[in-house]
Amino acid sequence: MPQNKNSQTDFSQPFGKFTSRKIEHDEEYIDYLPGYRYRIWHNDQSSSFPDHKHAALEIILCSEDTYTVTVGEEVYKLHEGDILFIPPMKVHSITAPESGERFIMLFDISFFDYFKSKNDILDCFSSAKVIGINNASHIYPLVYSSLNKIINLYFAYNEMNEIEIYSELLKIISTISHSPESAEDNGEEETMLTHSEIYNKFVRVLSYIETNYSEDLNLETVAKTTGFSKYHFSRLFKQYTDSTFYDYLCKRRIIEAKKLLITNIPVTDVAFQVGFNNLTTFCRCFKKYTGCSPTQYKSRVAKDENISVESVTDVYHLKADGINPSVE
């Protein structure tokens, strides 16, 4: 673990002091270290951060106490030593405790453009992932060691350290992509099944979501119903529906919410009835898919009783020979 605030280590920015966060329409524009494409903070503040996204790959190393991060609808409570990877352009928020320490790292991923394996690298970080001693013990020491080196190189500024920092970052990516869990994503699961068999699995997946959309569904739980790892499942779900799992689930819930908002049920009750675990996430998703807030929608319904509500079949369709699964 990098030395903490009680040691002699100076975790102030090596040069070009950070000015302020720049957020427009929930998108943050990263103030990278001048002349470089990364920025690392030693953070011991109790400040929380609302929903935002950015084009950088974010890595959070929790070094003391806990730290709660919500990515999409998934909530990750980080404990000491846990490492969270947040993909570029994923909406996330942070709830900080009253005390604690963590290192927050942001990396511009445009340098991946120079690699033939760019798509494989991005697939590796298509969803948020936590690497901790308890859930990824086989790769944790290597990833943890490389992150410590990156942190120490950053704060012990030297121009030549840039090469070593990116070298360690690439080592982390290689370690994760070659881990047993990620190896399942290289097509080994799919080669055992025909296209028709995979398609039928996803017909059942959509039926499962239709029946259980109001429950506390998450990617890992639904992936288990297919027998695929969550990373392989994510790729196939996108391939067969033109949508991510969470986009599909959110839109399904919003369609049901629109039906309920026509009634006299309060907005907060509607949010929980269709499966959202907090009102903020519900309002954000509702506006994303309808262009207005739930309250504005209720107001419009009151003025125009002819407003239509899409059926579930308007969410997305599986792509296979023009055949769409029927959902009762």
What are the pLDDT digits (tens) for 51-81? 899 999 999 999 998 899 999 878 888 999 9
CATH number of 190-314: 1.10.10.60
Q: How many helices, marked H, and strands, marked E, lie in the chain? A: 11, 11
pLDDT surpasses 90 at 159: no
- Choice between 117 and 201, residue whose per-residue pLDDT is larger: 201
| 321 Rama class: left (phi>0) / alpha (psi -120 to 50) / beta | left
Q: What are 175-216's pLDDT values in tens digits?
A: 887 775 544 444 444 445 677 778 888 888 999 999 999 998
Q: Which segment of 21-25, 75-79, 260-264, 279-283 scores lowest on mean pLDDT?
A: 21-25
pLDDT at residue number 38 = 93
- Residues 6 or more apart in contact with residue 270 via CB below 8 angstroms: 257, 260, 261, 282, 294
pLDDT at residue number 327 = 35
% of the chain with per-residue pLDDT over 90? 34
Q: What are 10-50's pLDDT values in tens digits?
A: 788 888 777 677 888 788 888 888 889 999 999 988 888 88
Question: What are 260's two structure tokens?
Answer: 């309920």
* 118-126 own/partner pairs: CB under 8 Å, 24+ apart: 120/177, 121/173, 121/177, 123/185, 123/231, 123/235, 124/173, 124/176, 124/177, 124/182, 124/231, 125/57, 125/85, 125/87, 125/88, 126/87, 126/231, 126/234, 126/235
- What CATH architecture does domain 22-184 belong to? Sandwich (2.60)
pLDDT at residue number 176 = 84
pTM: 0.58
How many Cα atoms occupy the beta-carbon half-sphere of 238 within 13 Å? 11
pLDDT at residue number 241 = 85
Question: What are 4's two structure tokens?
Answer: 């903490």
pLDDT surpasses 60 at 320: no
Mean pLDDT score of the chain: 82
Closest CA to 311 of 234, 251, 236, 246: 251
DSSP state of 244: -
DSSP notation for 131-174? E-TTT-TTTHHHHHHHHHHHHHHHHS--TTHHHHHHHHHHHHHH
Give bridge partners of residue 22 from the DSSP assignment.
Answer: 29
pLDDT surpasses 80 at 217: yes
pLDDT surpasses 90 at 275: yes
For residues 256-271, average pLDDT: 92
pLDDT surpasses 60 at 328: no
For residues 108-117, average pLDDT: 82
pLDDT surpasses 80 at 169: yes
DSSP state of 28: E
Residue 91 CA to chain centroid, in angstroms?
Answer: 7
222 touches 211 (CB < 8 A): no
Which residue ranges make up each domain of the chain? 22-184, 190-314
- Top mean pLDDT of 128-137, 223-232, 243-252, 303-312 is at 243-252
pLDDT at residue number 282 = 92
Question: What are 60's two structure tokens?
Answer: 């959070």
Task: Tell me whether the CATH fold assigned to 22-184 matches the one assigned to 190-314.
Answer: no
% of the chain with per-residue pLDDT over 70? 84
H or E element that contains 212: helix 195-212
pLDDT at residue number 311 = 46
